[in-house]
Amino acid sequence: MADIISQIIDFFSGPIKSTCPTTACIPTSTFIIIVSAFLLSLMTSSANRFLVNYKMVMNSRRDFSAWNQALRKARKDGDEKQVDKLMKRQSAVVKMQTRANLEQMKTTVITFIPLLLVYRVILDAFPLSTAVAYSPTFITPLWNPTVHPEPNGYGKQIVETITKVAKSKENKAQTARR
């Protein structure tokens, strides 16, 4: 089974690897990831649009809201007879609400496997150690600066600044405890 999955991943990640053979082909890798995210979003939205019966979902939410509001009003007014009458409907209302929630969960079941597959293909094509975009704030590749320090030293400066701030907060907290 794992061999079949790896063959599927290799089938889809092969064209990406041939388009972007080096580890840092930043404009291409950025566009590939943005297009992948757009296609996943389009797939999920389309599945929601065609598979979920939103009229039923909205009607059940409206009915649940009306029942809940009536129950709160009856409890606030102290009308035990009305509370008992509404509580007899509770199982039907909860069942209706559960059915509406399951209606919305249909798309999750259908889209979850393709989401994982696309994530795995992207991860295979661009490993975690590969830069795929530039940060708009530092103009350096986005990667873990502690693992892969870049030559211009921004990553090292960032790590040092974060460490100083953390130590400063820790010292302040210890001073406040004394």
Max alpha carbon distance in the chain (Å)? Answer: 76
DSSP assignment letter at 133: S
- Summarize pLDDT for 90-119 with one digit per residue, the tens: 999 999 999 999 988 888 888 888 898 888
Residue in this structure with the two tokens 């840092």, named with its chain if needed: 24
Cβ burial, residue 175 (10 Å; 0-12/13-18/19+) = exposed
- Which has more pLDDT, 23 or 86? 86
pLDDT tens for 26-55 read 778 888 888 999 999 999 999 999 999 989
| Sequence spans of domains, the chain | 2-133, 134-178
**Per-residue pLDDT at 59:** 92
- Contacts of residues 79-87 at CB distance under 8 Å and 24 or more positions apart, as own/partner, are none
Residues 6+ positions from 178 with CB-CB distance below 8 Å: none
Distance CA 98, CA 90 (A): 12
Total-model pTM: 0.59
What is d(CA 91, CA 74) in angstroms, rounded to the nearest whole number?
18
Enumerate residues 6+ apart whose C-beta is below 8 A from 48: 107
Total length of the chain: 178
Mean pLDDT across 12-18:
84
What local confidence, expressed as pLDDT, does residue 10 receive? 86
Nearest to 127, CA basis, from 151, 104, 143: 143
